[in-house]
Amino acid sequence: MRTTLCFLIAVAGLLCHVSPAVCQQKPNVLFLICDDLNCDIGCYGHPLVKTPRIDRLAARGVRFDRAYCQYPLCGPSRASFMAGLYPDQTLIRRNSIYLRQHLPNVQSMSQLFRRNGYFATRIGKIYHYNVPKHMGTGGHDDPYSWDMTINPRGRDKDDEHLIFSLRPGSYGGTLSWLAADGTDAEQTDGIAAAEAIRLLDRYAKTKRRFFLAVGLYRPHTPYVAPKKYFDMYPAAKIRVPQVPDGYFDTLPKPARLSLTRKKDQVNLKKELAREAIRAYYASITFADAQLGLILDKLSDCGLDENTIVVFTSDHGYHMGEHGHYQKTTLFENAARVPLIISGPGVKARGETTRAFAEMVDFYPTLADLAGLKPPKYAAGVSLAPALRDANASPRSSALTQFADGYSIRTDRYRYTEWGSEGQLGNELYDHQNDSAEMRNIASDDAQRDTVARLSKLLRQRVAAARQVPDGLQQITSQTVSRFPQPQLPGAFRNQTNNAR
């Protein structure tokens, strides 16, 4: 009997060695995204911002030092990475557009997992929401993407009348903040974390394979967090970026307009700027605490070893750099995003990669790690090689667009063209000597060859990002004027829970 048992154990071990897929369960996915978060994070080298939970995730995953959004605005960026397509392919280049207004039959990232036996849940903001207006609602969500949705709403929504704003009564697109009374658990993101914890408990008990997407609202304006987080950042320690006199005159008109269109948010007085930056940092640390609760539960449930964790933001953000606050520019501050991936398939644990990553790469990367086949029209590349070997380079540049401008980031340079073939101006920044992108050298005679080379590369990338891939022609040609509410089969009908 004992000999037979030993034989069976040996055979099982041999099978696992020969074919791991036979013995290993397909991995779960935990997709964590903050709203309007730049790389002002501890593990990205920020000297002041405290993010111990994100830092801990980076220590057991791979941190991408050069990850970039495709559009520095919430709606276009989120539609892009969820569809795995560039904004010129989704045709979504502004907020408040439903994904299927332009792509009625697209298969979203989470929808791929649904169709392969995963239970897909959204908590909070994954597609576009007007913040804080749509908090507690479905926003501009895509019902096809989920089996269940949860729309948390906390006291931060109820306390709007207490919020300070540069434009009284305006919050989402205006610098605004509140050092809130009460606890983390009363805030919308605190409720989102509690809901995620509840679901992870359930999944651990039922052994259900899941794709769980948790979208936190912070640090999006208004910057609301309990007072204790504001206390972590004394105003005297806040550094306000400086802009030299005459700087804006060195930029093409479209770039200048992207920085100065909100006149009351340009080159703020130092005291006011410090308060805004302090509130942004407080919101980051508050969000970090909620992420930590979710990640701790993942570990406590024993799900961490078989769950791919992706942590990111929807785009970058300015906090006074170039005299600008918030997003919607083609500078590094608005284009660059944090990106950490951990879990099964990640062998370069605790390492930082210099490999370029684009947010359209999320879709093929998660599909690759889960052994699934993404649709042929998906535009990104799998980042799995960089997760196995931090020195691998799945792509050699990163493309970002905004309005009528396109920007390419390479190892050394950022090159930007505005208008058709750069007729409205261009910009060149040498990151080897000017990482802050404060000196536009596009017109320097010594850079003529560099500009020509990067212009050719940029136009090649733009042409590819505009091309309608095979399998997508019939989809983009079926643009509809109103979003058709889907009639899902009963077995897959979307379940919505407005958590409070």
**pLDDT confidence of 475, banded at 50, 70, 90?**
low
**pLDDT confidence of 6, banded at 50, 70, 90?**
very low
Domains 27-391 and 404-468 agree in fold: no
Average pLDDT, the chain: 91
Task: Assess whether 74 carries a catalytic annotation.
Answer: yes
The pLDDT of residue 215: 98
Single-letter amino acid, residue 175: L
Give residue-wise pLDDT tens across range 45-90.
Answer: 999 999 999 999 999 999 999 999 999 999 999 999 999 999 999 9
What's the predicted TM-score (pTM) here? 0.91
What's the token pair of residue 483? 């979003």
Give residue-wise pLDDT tens across range 361-399.
Answer: 999 999 999 999 999 999 999 999 999 999 999 999 999
**pLDDT confidence of 472, banded at 50, 70, 90?**
confident
Query: What is the side-by-side strand order in the sheet with 336-342?
Result: 351-358, 61-68, 336-342, 307-313, 28-34, 210-215, 119-124, 148-150, 495-497
CB 376 within 8 A of CB 335: no
Mean local confidence (pLDDT), 237-255? 94
Give residue-wise pLDDT tens across range 278-326.
Answer: 999 999 999 999 999 999 999 999 999 999 999 999 999 999 999 999 9
Question: Which residue among 74, 102, 134, 315 is the active-site one?
Answer: 74
Give residue-wise pLDDT tens across range 392-424.
Answer: 999 999 999 999 999 999 999 999 999 998 999
Whether the predicted pLDDT of 3 surpasses 50: no
CB 451 within 8 A of CB 426: yes
Residue 1 burial (C-beta neighbours within 10 Å; 0-12, 13-18, 19+): exposed
27-391 belongs to CATH 3.40.720.10: yes
404-468 belongs to CATH 3.30.1120: yes
Question: Which residue among 102, 128, 315, 322 is the active-site one?
Answer: 128
Mean local confidence (pLDDT), 460-482? 72
The pLDDT of residue 488: 36
Between 266 and 285, residue with greater pLDDT: 285
Beta strands in 55-104 (DSSP E): 61-68
Whether the predicted pLDDT of 468 surpasses 90: no
β pairing state of 61-68 and 351-358: parallel
Q: 441-477 burial, b if ≥16 CB within 10 A, otherwise e?
A: bbeeeebeebbeebbebbeebbeebeeebeebeebbe
Task: Assess whether 128 carries a catalytic annotation.
Answer: yes
